[in-house]
């Protein structure tokens, strides 16, 4: 794939990243990793924006990204990072080297939205959250702050008219007695109030409500989601189109996921896991046409942050013959997610600089269940993302030129 | 990928397929399968020309393909097919249904080139082989015959000036005392003499000699190769680019192949296996940059035609973390190869109708070690093949129009 | 293991096998296989009674076993066997060779107990079933008939006083309005009425009720169960004791089962699967002490009778280090079960000849959840079975000698 | 298995462990682990002598074991341990906690035998090595020192009369020009000179020469070997007998080993690997009767000390049906070996206290290729070891009683 190299440098200001769930495993890993990359201790392995075909697109430098966030936990980032060291995920020396940067970020983490301890209306809560983001932007002199949802997966909300219509929603949010939005969507609402580009990295409802889409359009805010495509689902989106391209027919695709850590415990709740399973399977069924796709997620606490996924693919070939492909994937899940989170922040900063608004379907590359797109093939998503980034970079420069000129 | 549908029908005459190794497992499976497809008993599962994006390209109909070939074995096709039934590979009823067609093809199989029993020069032998092909073409009233090499893998020949230069080669071939060309290349030479498009589905030298390239150019014959990419190598050409597209770094990629059947026995010979191993690993090393790619092929006779391949991929991710992917692939190898062989015949007929000559790099899709191309990514090869087929179809029609018009 | 060879021959009369579920996959395979072995077409591979250390124990010869049974299906055995041929499980020629024997057995299959169509009391129904068995025994001049439960897995019955107490049960069975016993237990009750030794090869309640144990004691009938240990669970009972014998500690043992066929469909019912899952996991938890043993059974119809099982074992070793073992098992489930079923018939005939009564714990070798035993280690079970068979053989001869002498 | 508990305590003096290869991965891990266990920081997970049925046998306490050794490397133990921490194998804090003990052991490591720098005869060299061992024993007031060979795998020596006959060997060793014994055997000879019980944990020749067996008998020294059975081979010795006990027939058993570290590099040498491959396969062929057991060991440096092993087992079952079992094993190899090494030292101390001499076949439990035994089944080896240890413990006490009494 040959893309015309638009060799500008980034001149659209400094960028903030605001993590919802800033003290969780993924955010901690991303924050620590960003510090390591920015200070030259680590290469940006796993960041797709750091390599061809995206590496000649002008994006915010790693060293110019500033991190803050919300969390309901008050375990300091440094402490959380120590747990990741204990688990064998992060080398001791790397933590020691970037501990001052972690402490600095920790000072920019504010108490997150907690439905259990709310006083006042959800509107008031969202405004307070938005004020945190705006304050962070102003204190650090940032051109924009990208909000990334990394909080625990929630059950999906029941359908309700307020989730469909922005005016109904606004009215309902003022009622201090009502819990209209799930926590993830309160945070998404706050991001919109703050005018912050938004990435939904979990399968929670978050921005994925018509009323919030309307608000994003009103405010001119770009967003992308949903549910980071990091491991097994990514692999499926690589393999399924290739099998199909060979003229072979998937008869069944069975999967098993083992994971521990906080994610394992969250997903042991059958309600929470449901949104995850639906999200994981949708693309696969689209790609293969098969509906025999049994999938399980098991909480195996002793695995810690390691996720092990086994897939058994049963395929029909020539003259009705049968073939099987099995895959076993084993990885630290946070290590897969963290670099993609940094990529999302860089690319949403670009989208924002180019004046985009609403869902960015070309970022489907990053997600299990892409908003605004039904493309699930990873190869096709890679191609589309590359083209989009180059085109949007030129557009951002044009916008800037318009601003700069009298 | 959206390709403009050039909705012509094939009007370039009937096509023959001439198998070198016509009584081997792959050729038997392809012949039997073609009969089953042509008579509507089986769907063309596994044939990429029978599905998007190639299915709207005008190609010879399956029912218009006529099969013949060379073989040094005199076991009749029907007998060979019975062995495949015994092995559980082909259903008994399917064989019974197409046995008359198999017997008809068997009558068109001629004794193959056998260095051990040669009398006269290699030139004379090649002319006799070419005469078989021409005779087959004329008897069946075919517009063209595509030769496909499916014979056992040979050791590669030692370098020699005659293999580099067509004139030297021609002279040497006349010497009845000399064995200049390996058997696969004698057959390729015969195909060129007969003006037949050629596909090299094995890793043997076959057409892959500068002297033969020169002859193909002289005769205006298109060809494609080399070494059919059916199973493990195909999977690698799917996975490796995807891993790279995620910014991850392959540290090592170790593979083990178990197979029985005639192929297993052939590849138990360390000289023959060498050309196979080189061919299998070249693409992987190109795609990943890693040179730690140990690979073994073991002869496990009890597996029969089943090939089992295990790959262990060790990957570096974010902050130096390690992840692993293991794949186990289990399939009847002939069942993977046979539909691709039919695809190649259809597509080389197209290339020939369009007047192409020399290697067709856009057919790299089918091969471990594509002649004329260094593209190994399967996704990219898929895209290229689709574009090429549509473009070439238009070109063939233009050629035909030129012929038709005064 | 050296066992004194008690070299007698079997002189305790001919033996019948009565299958509950005589037209299912396992029974069909066992019946067909028995015919093939008896006529010398196949070796008794997979029969543990045909090899050391059991092969010098005098047991009924394969050729002296006569098969009959109950089933609610009226698909003839020959038809069912054809389906197994279609599925690639049984060679066409083998079926053709033993079709007359299958037809003969089919004539000895009687309509099974069907709660949905019952008229009259369960007592009457059981008596009719028992009469079928007695009639079969007398018609064929058999010394004894061993009943083997191979019917579909049922949900477990709710606790009730009648299941605990034989007198209460007898009274309740007379009431035509009541459905006291599940179908499997009606059949077990009938076996006891007929004085037939019994093997419970499924996880259904069957004989496993205190009231039936009391009846077995009263009638002097030996029985063994429960739930045939054929594949994944067998493998676990091999591996878990070995891991423990190395001083290693199992942290978690996660498993996934894929299967199609009738069994897959039955186990897709969450109630039916529950008794299976409990049965499968009990031994593992005993052997490892770990309670993190997530296990799934998925219905994957396209797999047919093939069962694929993946296990992921996470182990703690020296100094808290972690190791993993993964196993993937792929087999035709009925092919694993059928030879064990023949073994059970031969060994229960021996138990009966020796005058044993009640549960035979030494047959735990064959079962996931052995009645009368808490030994789950396969190696230990093998040892115990060998010793028991030799001892019981001597006992049977002593009994016979007592009978023979005045 | 019920063994009469002979509840004595160990009263046969303190025991030394002398590692040949004392600064390698296994020895470093064993030394560090012993310190951690002795000081109560770690449980003796992976030590079979610390659990039933061996835990009621009186053996030297972990805290009473004293470590020294030979090595040709002069990298201090603490430095080597740091590398293991870097590799993620050992937790940083554990190393910090036992560093003083490591330093103390390091002071007891003497320069090992190095053929390349030898001056004087091999006899003289062996005597110097023996003097190191005796000196260590006396300085620490030890009742005995057990020598354990953990040095790199060597190629096997060519047959020679001196290796068969002790007198010829003694004479040849005096010749300063000759290199009669490979390094491993020089060390074994030295152990015998020092009267030290010996364990051969590698597949090198070491003690396995008739001339050395004769010397061991002369000196009354017990020894055990050969080639520690830690991972894949252990698993095979668990699975193969179990498959056989089910009456199933192994058709082929193919294996692939990936490993890095020093061991990977050593075994990349085709001569060195040969002794390993033979040793690994012998037991498997004995257990299964199959000779189709292709096996590879690949050097994959990026895996470090992790060893990954894949096995594909093809099995014939009932009526000729086929089943497959695949296993993937992933573990830090040194972590598997180290606790067994401690077990061997404890058990050989017992053997010595009981006055045993020559090979101890009952220790086959620990070895791929057991000296003096052709039992390979792990279950059987476990049983035998338990019985032996209890019996030998009683014998040691009887010896001691004889010594104590006048």
Nearest to A275 by CA among A210, A333, A227, A212: A227
pLDDT at site D28 = 97
pLDDT at site B405 = 65
Average pLDDT value for residue range C28-54? 96
Instruction: Using an 8 Å CB-CB cutoff, list chain D residues near A91.
Output: 86
- Residue D88, min C-alpha distance to chain A (Å): 7
Task: Check pLDDT > 50 for residue C184.
Answer: yes
Nearest to B252 among D256, D300, D314 (CB): D300
Average pLDDT value for residue range A114-125? 91
Average pLDDT, chain A: 92
Average pLDDT value for residue range A22-38? 97
Residue scoring higher pLDDT (C245 or B5): C245
Measured distance between the N- and C-terminal CA atoms of chain D, rounded to whole angstroms: 38
Instruction: Using an 8 Å CB-CB cutoff, list chain A residues near D92.
Output: 92
Assess contact for A256 and A395: CB atoms under 8 A.
no
pLDDT at site D129 = 97
The residue in chain A having the minimum alpha-carbon distance to the alpha carbon of residue C298 is A294
Task: Check pLDDT > 90 for residue B263.
Answer: no
Instruction: Using an 8 Å CB-CB cutoff, list chain D residues near C90.
Output: 319
> Furthest-apart CA pair in chain D: how many Å?
70
Task: Check pLDDT > 70 for residue C92.
Answer: yes
Residues 7-26 on A with a CB inside 8 Å of B are: none
Indicate yes or no: CB of D88 within 8 angstroms of CB of A92. Answer: no
The residue in chain C having the minimum alpha-carbon distance to the alpha carbon of residue D366 is C246
Of A102-111, A151-160, C266-275, give the range with the top mean pLDDT.
A102-111
Which residue(s) pair with B299 in the sheet?
B259
| CATH architecture of structural domain B232-332 | 2-Layer Sandwich (3.30)
In 10 A of CB D155, how many CB atoms?
A: 15
**What would the pLDDT profile of C272-316 be if each residue is shown by its tens digit?**
777 777 777 888 888 888 778 889 899 999 998 899 999 999 999
Task: Check pLDDT > 90 for residue C70.
Answer: yes
Token pair 């490979």 is at which residue? D182
- Between CA C30 and CA C37, with CA C36 as vertex, the angle to 5 degrees is 85
Task: Check pLDDT > 70 for residue B197.
Answer: yes
Chain D contact present for B249, CB below 8 A? no
* CA dist., res. A129 & res. C370, Å (int): 60
**CATH fold of A232-333, please?**
Dihydrodipicolinate Reductase; domain 2 (3.30.360)
Chain D contact present for B326, CB below 8 A? yes
Average pLDDT value for residue range B300-314? 94
Range with the lowest mean pLDDT among A105-114, B264-273, D391-400? Answer: B264-273
pLDDT at site C5 = 46
pLDDT at site C8 = 64
Which residue(s) pair with D228 in the sheet?
D367
Chain A contact present for D294, CB below 8 A? no
**What would the pLDDT profile of A202-255 be if each residue is shown by its tens digit?**
999 999 999 999 999 999 999 999 999 999 999 999 999 999 999 999 999 999
Q: Are strands D65-71 and D109-111 parallel, antiparallel or unpaired?
A: parallel
Instruction: Using an 8 Å CB-CB cutoff, list chain B residues near C91.
Output: 86
| Cis peptide upstream of residue B199 (ω within 30 degrees of 0) | no
Residue C126 tokens, joined: 């059981």
The region that residue C48 occupies, defined by phi over 0 for left and psi between -120 and 50 for alpha, beta otherwise, is alpha
Chain A contact present for B367, CB below 8 A? no
Residue D406 tokens, joined: 């006048």
pLDDT at site C260 = 86
Chain C contact present for A249, CB below 8 A? no
**What would the pLDDT profile of B280-294 be if each residue is shown by its tens digit?**
788 888 888 877 888
- Residue D292, min C-alpha distance to chain B (Å): 7
- Asked casually if ipTM beats, i.e. exceeds, 0.90, the reply is yes
Task: Check pLDDT > 50 for residue A3.
Answer: no
Q: What does the DSSP 8-state code read for residue C157?
A: P
pLDDT at site A406 = 57
- Residue A234, min C-alpha distance to chain C (Å): 21
- Residue C88, min C-alpha distance to chain B (Å): 7
- 3-state secondary structure at position A179: coil
Helices (H), B194-332: 210-219, 232-245, 261-267, 270-288
Indicate yes or no: CB of A88 within 8 angstroms of CB of D88. Answer: yes
Residue A98 tokens, joined: 């970037």
* CA dist., res. C223 & res. C147, Å (int): 9
- 3-state secondary structure at position D144: strand
Quick one: pLDDT band at residue B406, thresholds 50, 70, 90?
low
Quick one: pLDDT band at residue B8, thresholds 50, 70, 90?
low
A15-228+335-404 under CATH 3.40.50.720, yes or no: yes
What residue segments make up the domains of chain D, in order of their start? 15-228+335-404, 232-332
Exposure b/e, B72-87, CB count within 10 A at least 16 = b: beeebbbebbbbbbeb
pLDDT at site B285 = 86
pLDDT at site C273 = 76
Residue scoring higher pLDDT (C99 or B272): C99
The region that residue D206 occupies, defined by phi over 0 for left and psi between -120 and 50 for alpha, beta otherwise, is left
pLDDT at site D405 = 65
- 3-state secondary structure at position C331: strand
pLDDT at site A1 = 40
Residue D187 tokens, joined: 């060390």
- Residue D169, min C-alpha distance to chain C (Å): 39
Instruction: Using an 8 Å CB-CB cutoff, list chain B residues near C86.
Output: 91
Q: What is the DSSP string of A225-261?
A: ESSB--SHHHHHHHHHHHHHHTT-EEEEEEEEEEE-H
Chain A contact present for C87, CB below 8 A? no
Indicate yes or no: CB of D249 within 8 angstroms of CB of C321. Answer: no
* CA dist., res. A28 & res. D135, Å (int): 54
Nearest to C367 by CA among C252, C244, C229: C229
**CATH fold of C232-331, please?**
Dihydrodipicolinate Reductase; domain 2 (3.30.360)
Strand ranges inside B60-170, DSSP E: 65-71, 109-111, 144-149
| Segments in chain D below pLDDT 50 | 1-6
Average pLDDT value for residue range B74-84? 95
* CA dist., res. D371 & res. D379, Å (int): 18
């Amino acid at each position: 794939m040959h893309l015309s190299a638009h060799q500008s440098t980034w001149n659209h200001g400094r960028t903030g990243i605001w993590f919802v769930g800033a003290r969780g495993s993924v955010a901690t890993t991303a924050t620590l990793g960003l510090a390591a990359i920015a200070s030259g201790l680590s290469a940006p392995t796993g960041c797709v924006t750091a390599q061809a075909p995206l590496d000649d697109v002008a994006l915010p430098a790693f060293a110019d990204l500033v991190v803050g966030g919300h969390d309901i936990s008050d375990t300091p980032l440094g402490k959380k990072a120590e747990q990741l060291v204990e688990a064998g995920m992060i080398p001791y020396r790397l933590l020691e080297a970037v501990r001052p940067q972690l402490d600095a970020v920790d000072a920019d983490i504010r108490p997150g939205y907690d439905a259990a301890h709310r006083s006042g209306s959800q509107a008031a809560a969202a405004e307070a959250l938005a004020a945190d983001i705006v304050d962070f932007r102003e204190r650090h002199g940032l051109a924009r702050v990208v909000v990334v949802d990394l909080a625990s997966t929630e059950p999906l909300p029941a359908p309700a008219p307020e989730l469909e219509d922005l005016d109904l929603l606004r009215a309902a949010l003022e009622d201090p007695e009502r819990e209209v939005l799930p926590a993830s969507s309160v945070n998404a609402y706050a991001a919109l109030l703050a005018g912050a580009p938004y990435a939904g990295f979990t399968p929670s409802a978050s921005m994925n409500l018509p009323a919030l889409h309307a608000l994003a359009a009103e405010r001119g805010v770009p967003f992308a989601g949903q549910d980071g495509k990091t491991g097994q689902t990514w692999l499926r989106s690589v393999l399924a189109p290739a099998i199909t391209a060979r003229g072979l027919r998937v008869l069944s695709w069975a999967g098993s996921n083992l994971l521990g850590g906080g994610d394992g415990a969250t997903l042991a709740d059958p309600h929470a896991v449901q949104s995850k399973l639906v999200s994981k399977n949708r693309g696969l069924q689209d790609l293969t046409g098969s509906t025999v796709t049994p999938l399980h997620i098991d909480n195996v606490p002793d695995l810690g942050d390691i996720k092990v996924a086994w897939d058994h693919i049963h395929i029909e070939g020539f003259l009705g013959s049968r073939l099987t492909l099995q895959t076993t994937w084993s990885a630290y899940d946070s290590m897969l997610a963290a670099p993609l989170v940094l990529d999302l922040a860089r690319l949403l900063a670009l989208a924002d600089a180019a004046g985009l608004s609403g869902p960015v379907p070309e970022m489907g590359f990053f997600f299990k269940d892409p908003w605004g797109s039904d493309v699930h093939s990873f190869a096709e998503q890679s191609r589309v993302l590359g083209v989009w980034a180059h085109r949007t970079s030129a557009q951002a420069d044009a916008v800037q030129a318009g601003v700069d000129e009298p």
